[in-house]
């Protein structure tokens, strides 16, 4: 049993309808739990209380490319490069999907 408490009905409907070959990120407790680790700095579900770069509701491709750039060392960072290196590309992609589907 899972639930996305903050989602409105329309988001859930859209998510359910969009779910194609891969599981909807919002429906997947595994990626939800992974994403929750990001919240310690970026706020619950990516809703920062201020000062951190926003990630909730950012476009998927922008988030994914940024995470890959951190991982590959092509985007300068203080700490994100060290975190991104801990994840496979697929894990980063699923995290990007999760945050892109949060309300901005």
The CB-of-100 to another protein minimum distance in angstroms stands at: 17
Q: Which of 23, 92, 100, 4 is nearest to 56 (CA)?
A: 100
Among 29, 61, 73, 74, binds another protein (CB under 8 A): 29
Tell me the per-residue interface mask from 39 to 58 with another protein, x by CB under 8 A, - otherwise: xxxxxx--xxxxxx------
Cα angle: 83, vertex 19, 9; to 5 degrees: 95
Asked if residues 31 and 95 have their Cβ atoms less than 8 Å apart, the reply is: yes
Q: Report the first-to-last Cα separation within the chain, whole angstroms.
A: 25
Q: Does 76 bind another protein (CB under 8 A)?
A: no
Give the C-alpha separation, 70 to 29, whole Å.
25
Q: Does 33 bind another protein (CB under 8 A)?
A: yes
List residues near another protein by CB under 8 A: 1-3, 5-10, 12-13, 16, 27, 29-30, 32-34, 36-37, 39-44, 47-52, 78-79, 82-87, 91, 103
């Amino acid at each position: 049993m899972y639930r996305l408490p903050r989602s409105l009905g329309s988001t859930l409907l859209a998510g359910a309808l969009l779910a194609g070959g891969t599981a909807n990120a919002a429906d997947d407790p595994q990626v939800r739990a992974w994403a929750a680790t990001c919240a310690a700095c970026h706020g619950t579900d990516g809703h920062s209380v201020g000062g951190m770069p926003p990630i909730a509701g950012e476009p998927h491709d922008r988030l994914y490319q940024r995470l890959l750039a951190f991982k590959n060392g092509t985007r300068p960072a203080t700490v994100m490069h060290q975190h991104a290196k801990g994840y496979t590309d697929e894990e980063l992609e699923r995290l990007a999907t999760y945050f892109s589907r949060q309300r901005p």
